[in-house]
Structure 1
Amino acid sequence: MVCNEASTMTRIRDVVQQALTTGYLTVEAENQLRYLLTTHYDSEDLNAFMSLQEAAMNGKVKQESRERCGVK
């Protein structure tokens, strides 16, 4: 997903749901999350983001950015 006019309508929880469903967080999705976290979001989005962080720490979601640089 690219951060452009159309994607600014995307919510953090939608990006998180995609990553949790696939078990994979792309660099594009990671960048979109960074952008969305600088804008207005609600507690449901924040809770979703924390769930994603927990899933990544527990190995349930792999991060493309970490695979690229060899971090496990």
Structure 2
Amino acid sequence: MTRIRDVVQQALVTGYLTIEAENQLRYLLTTQYDLEDLNAFMTLQEAAMNGNVKQESRERCGIS
């Protein structure tokens, strides 16, 4: 099964979070996850806020 940290790692490497990956994260966050996954998710949030990771969903809506 895919882990939150795997999805986050892919986004950090590519600098891009697809809609599919975003939906996957939403689902994974409803399941049990460990502290490492939570920390990875927080790292992704920070990277997105700093502009290091772009979100496909925001680009489609015209949100920077």
Q: What TM-score do you get using the length of structure 2 for normalisation?
A: 1.00
Structure 2, unpaired ranges of 5+: none
Q: What TM-score do you get using the length of structure 1 for normalisation?
A: 0.89
- Which of 12, 23, 27 in structure 2 is aligned with 1:20? 12
Structure 1 residue 39, shift from structure 2 partner:
0.2
Report whether the alignment pairs 1:54 with 2:46: yes
Higher relative contact order (CA 8 A, sep 6+): 2
Aligned residues: 64
Report SS of the residue matched to 1:59.
coil
What is the CA RMSD across the aligned residues, in angstroms? 0.2
Structure 1, unpaired ranges of 5+: 1-8
- Post-superposition Cα deviations, 1:18-58, rounded to whole Å, max 9, x if no partner, equal 00000000000000000000001000000000000000000
How does 1:1-72 map onto structure 2 within 5 Å? 9-72=1-64
The runs of at least 4 consecutive aligned structure 1 residues that moved more than 3 Å come to none
Name the larger-Rg structure. Answer: 1
